[in-house]
Amino acid sequence: MNFYDSERMTDLLKPHGYELDNTAEDADLIVLNTCHIREKAVEKTYSELGRIRKQINLRKEKTGKKSIVAVAGCVAQAQGKEIMKRSPWVDIVVGPQSYQNLPELIAKVDPIKKNKHINIDFPTIPKFDQLENQFFDRGPSAFLTIQEGCDKFCTFCVVPYTRGAEYSRPIKSIIDEAKKLIDGGAKEITLLGQNVNAWNGSGYDKSVWGLGKLINELAKIKELESIRYTTSHPLDMDLELLEAHRDIKKLMPYLHLPIQSGSNNILKLMNRKHTALEYIKVIEKVRYYKPEIAISGDFIIGFPGETNKDHQATIDLISEIKYSQAYSFKYSIRPGTPAGAFYDHVGESIKNSRLQEVQEILRAQQMEFNKKFVNSTLKVLVLRNGKKKGQYLGRSPYNQSIYFNSEHTDLIGSTVDIDITDAFQNSLTGIIIQNKSI
């Protein structure tokens, strides 16, 4: 979602004369978009701000020009005043629900007075209604935020505090944006939300629609070839969405459905509101509607109170589900969250060894999943050039990275058939089947 927000900020600033630069060395404006989900991400904000300070000082010495520095995103939301105190070279702090105000805030910056501008409001008019409706340079695969915030309040998570309460964009504004992205060359759209399958926006008939119905509507746009969505919550996988997986060819066979832990005790402490068995049943249902679907997930390792038995339950659940790929993180205390105040935190070395065990089994499952495709043909959306000459990178329906070579120079944005020859941990390689369409 930060990626999407960064793109929207770029769109927003282009009409004000700003162009994207690859480095910050000679930038008039530096916007640091930040993540607060784990402590490590927050540390990165401050180390990056240190680097930025050096760059802007060097630029000032060399050219006499002063750069404007803005910090956006969830660290800005949570630690606005602290950022200004710890990093006085920052001019603007803007939260994820108020970055539509960036142009005005930039206009107010006075290089001589060194005044500071903080805007971390949760506005009553949603930012989507205030953002200008212009989109630039997205390439074949585009993100589209349809839902933001979260009302689930998992005890470890900052999202309900930094992104705010759940909000679903109405269908019209989503379809309008999708059409603009497609006009700009997007062939694939990934619908985004912290709780994307909880999307319940106002439909064309003003009744409340669910994600399945929205995907149905999007699929009617002829030029759109593929639809994805992320991230989902197990309790919001409704029948309409399952039927969409069965019936809509454009909806890709991939589902990111985090459970976080395989232990019922831990799930309860996490306030996940479901058991491990309920999650397994949801996955069974999904696989009934779309047998070949790739399942992905997230795991938090070493949540407060996690015993060896709880950890084993996570390992058992992973073994049972068989993920195509999944993310795992050591539990990280987030200030202000209920779990931050729990007393029985797990020691670092136990967290490390449990994480290693979980990652080992997830890596093996990913390898096994990837290997299944060797000697088969996959439809691949070509996203960009690879690092080597003549190499392209694309994405399979199952969300795998696919590398192949071709002498054609204009394949980006097309969908090609690839005979898969080799499987690796994080990618597949193959040979393009030359057909008439290219």
Q: Which is nearer to ligand SF4, 154 or 428 (CB)?
A: 154
Dist CA 337 CA 348 (whole Å): 20
Question: Per-residue string for binding with ligand SF4, 42-81, x by CB under 6 A?
Answer: ----------------------------------------
Q: Which is nearer to ligand 5AD, 140 or 302 (CB)?
A: 302
Q: Which is nearer to ligand SF4, 260 or 415 (CB)?
A: 260
Find the helix or strand (DSSP H, E) in which 296 lies. Answer: strand 294-301
Q: Tokens standing for 85?
A: 């105190």
Beta strands in 124-264 (DSSP E): 141-145, 147-148, 167-168, 188-192, 226-230, 254-256
Dist CA 268 CA 258 (whole Å): 15
Of 7, 116, 119, nearest in space to 68 by CA = 116
- 194 near ligand SF4 (CB under 6 A): yes
**Which residues make beta-bridge pairs with 32?**
71
**Residue 194: contacted member of ligand SF4, ligand 5AD, none (CB under 5 to 8 Å, by partner type):** ligand SF4
Question: Per-residue string for binding with ligand 5AD, 9-48, x by CB under 6 A?
Answer: ----------------------------xx----------
- Sole binder of ligand 5AD in the list 149, 193, 253, 258 (CB under 6 A): 258
Q: Could you count the other beta carbons within 10 Å of the beta carbon of residue 30?
A: 20
- 298 near ligand 5AD (CB under 6 A): yes
Shortest distance (Å) from residue 321 CB to ligand 5AD: 15
**Which residues make beta-bridge pairs with 416?**
380
- 160 near ligand SF4 (CB under 6 A): yes
- 305 near ligand 5AD (CB under 6 A): no
Task: Output the residue with the shortest Cβ distance to ligand 5AD.
Answer: 298
Instruction: Evaluate whether 35 touches 71 at the Cβ level (below 8 Å).
Output: no
- Which amino acid appears at position 161 of this protein? Y
Q: Which is nearer to ligand SF4, 187 or 233 (CB)?
A: 233
Shortest distance (Å) from residue 298 CB to ligand 5AD: 3
Q: Tokens standing for 146?
A: 């349809």
Dist CA 435 CA 56 (whole Å): 52
Shortest distance (Å) from residue 258 CB to ligand 5AD: 4
Instruction: Evaluate whether 161 touches 150 at the Cβ level (below 8 Å).
Output: no
- 243 near ligand 5AD (CB under 6 A): no
Please, what sign has the CA dihedral across residues 298, 303, 309, 310?
negative
- Sole binder of ligand SF4 in the list 195, 296, 314, 399 (CB under 6 A): 195
Binding positions for ligand SF4, rule: CB under 6 A = 150, 152-154, 157, 159-160, 194-195, 233
